[in-house]
Each structure stands twice: as C-alpha cells, then as structure tokens.
C-alpha cells in the first residue's frame, strides 16, 4: 500500500485468499470484496460488482446505496462502455461524462476497473464516490489489485 492511498489493496487480497482457502463461494467472495472496499470510507461511497453474462453486466454483489441498475447491456453507461472498449474508466466528474447512468444524485465521480483473466473479461468493480475526482492513479492501482485477485479466485 502506498502511503497516500486510502485503500489497502494487498490487505483485501489477503482477506480474499483467506476466504477462498475456507471454501468461500463466488457470491461470498464478491460480497467480501465489495464490503472491504467500501469499509475504506470516502471516496468509496458505493462498490458494485457487475459480472459479465453474455452481452450484459449483472449486479452480483454491492455495498453502499442500492441501485436500480441490476443489468446493464455492454455498451451502455460507463460500466457497459468499459467492457465494450476493454479498458478501465476513471471519471473525475460524472456530470461531464457522456452516457453516464446515474445511480444516485449524490455521486460525483466513478471508477470502473475490469476483472480480466488474460484476454477474457469476467466483470468489473464499479465504484461510486460522493467526492469529485475521488480516485487518482495510485488509488486505481489498489483497486486493480483486488480485481486481479478476483480474476484468479472466481
């Protein structure tokens, strides 16, 4: 963990490995990741684990405010765009983002990090923040550690 990051990605990866060793199920691993990330506090307001099923992202676990977006087609919203463009998306100000799907009017910034196993996209970690520019590059790298661990364990 870098001194200036909020999230300790390595600690969450250790917790995921521990749960996996105790035979945690896929829903349990996804919920653990979401809960641990949100526990980091601001800027982690809401953490949503969307997994890819065909051409749709399906919300399989979350921690934070409930969302009406349970299923998101690939190509729709920031979440669907990340899959379509096969890249992580970090939006510092959602009011300026084309095609943004609002979950809460309080949300100011959003980070989407893909869960990839080699070339295959398994899903994504979608994080909403009530803070503008909630996630810098170092913060994003901590989230990616969690995504990369899930890619192996799921």
Q: How far is the CB of 29 from ligand SME (least distance, A)?
A: 19
Q: Which CB, 13 or 108, lies closer to ligand SME?
A: 108
Residue 71 DSSP SS3: strand
Distances in Å between the alpha carbon of 24 and those of 1, 27, 80, 150? 25, 8, 28, 12
Residue 107 DSSP SS3: coil
Q: How far is the CB of 57 from ligand SME (least distance, A)?
A: 8
Among 7, 13, 61, 103, binds ligand SME (CB under 6 A): 103
Q: Which CB, 5 or 129, lies closer to ligand SME?
A: 129
Distance CA 9, CA 20 (A): 16
**Is residue 128 part of the contact set for ligand SME (CB under 6 A)?**
yes
Residue 116 has φ and ψ, to the nearest 5°, of -120, 135
Q: How far is the CB of 133 from ligand SME (least distance, A)?
A: 16
CB atoms within 10 A of CB 57: 28
Binding stretches for ligand SME (CB under 6 A): 48, 67, 69, 72, 77-79, 100-101, 103, 110, 126, 128
């Amino acid at each position: 963990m870098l001194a200036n990051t909020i999230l300790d990605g390595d600690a969450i990866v250790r917790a995921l490995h521990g749960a996996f060793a105790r035979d945690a199920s896929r829903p349990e691993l996804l919920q653990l990741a979401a809960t641990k990330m949100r526990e980091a506090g601001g800027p982690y307001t809401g953490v949503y684990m969307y997994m890819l099923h065909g051409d749709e992202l399906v919300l399989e676990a979350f921690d934070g405010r409930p969302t009406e977006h349970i299923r998101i087609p690939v190509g729709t919203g920031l979440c669907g765009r990340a899959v379509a463009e096969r890249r992580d998306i970090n939006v510092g100000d959602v009011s300026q983002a084309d095609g943004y799907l609002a979950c809460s009017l309080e949300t100011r910034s959003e980070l989407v990090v893909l869960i990839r196993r080699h070339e295959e996209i398994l899903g994504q970690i979608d994080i909403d923040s009530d803070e503008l520019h909630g996630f810098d590059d170092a913060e994003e790298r901590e989230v990616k550690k969690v995504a990369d661990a899930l890619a192996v364990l799921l």
